[in-house]
Amino acid sequence: MCPHAMIPFKPASPKSRLAGILSPEEREAFARAMLEDVIAAAKDANCSPVIVATELFDSEDIQITIADKDLSGTLNEVLPQSVGSILILMADLPLATGAAIKRVISTNSDMAIVPGRGGGTNAIFLKEPAKFHVDYYGMSFLKHIKIAEKAGLSCEVIDSFLLHTDIDEKDDLVELLTHGTGKSRAYLEQLGFALSAENGRVGVERKAAPSQ
């Protein structure tokens, strides 16, 4: 049975830390491009995407809309009712691939976690979701390890560059422009972003957008 891939997504005013280089409209379009890359990777791994959104937006995939609860509260209502395994996958992982996701969902443990930078959690796979609850924000990776231990669940921590690389700040765009192959990279290049090297350090710069 193919697991559902729960993908949290904020359609309005996303990625505020990119406000210095992208307009509000560009940030929304960029976030949507990353979401589409993540959805494509999930489908390539034979997962069924379910978008957990802060508000309704146009999408062909199933949506769950967060009303009066935060992300953790919403997922913690869904997990006890889930039948079969569940994958929780962040929407800002534009390097995600089907193969990387398959590695996570093929764990022999009760669950698997892919840590993000700064102590976050980028992916969680649960074979028995009713036995687990999430606690995002802050040092969520360590929180989730402790939750697994208390629940008596064996947990595999998976080191995956492709799923570890989330996009929040300007410097993160270096990895996307270097390794990306999907809509996210194409959108940045459409806006005129390119890699640059200054004083031996690779960064990004925004030039004039290519003519259409």
pLDDT per position as a tens digit, 83-141:
899 999 999 999 999 999 999 999 999 999 999 988 999 999 999 999 999 999 889 99
> How high is the pLDDT of residue 28?
96
Is 60 exposed, middle or buried, given 0-12, 13-18 or 19+ CB atoms closer than 10 A? exposed
- DSSP line for 38-60: HHHHHHHTT-EEEEEESS----S
Tally the residues of the chain. 212
Binned at pLDDT 50, 70 and 90, residue 171 comes out as very high
To the nearest 5 percent, what fractions of the chain are helix, strand and coil?
Answer: 40, 20, 40
Question: pLDDT tens across 58-70, in order?
Answer: 888 888 887 677 8
Q: Report if pTM > 0.75.
A: yes
Average pLDDT over the chain, rounded to whole?
93
Question: Residue 210: its pLDDT value, please?
Answer: 60
Task: Please tell me the predicted confidence (pLDDT) of residue 66.
Answer: 79
Region 50-62: what's the mean pLDDT?
87
The pLDDT > 70 percentage for the chain reads 97
Which pLDDT score is estimated for 195? 95
Q: How many CB atoms lie within 10 A of CB 85?
A: 17
Torsion angles phi and psi, residue 195, rounded to 5: -70, 145
pLDDT value at 211 more than 60? no
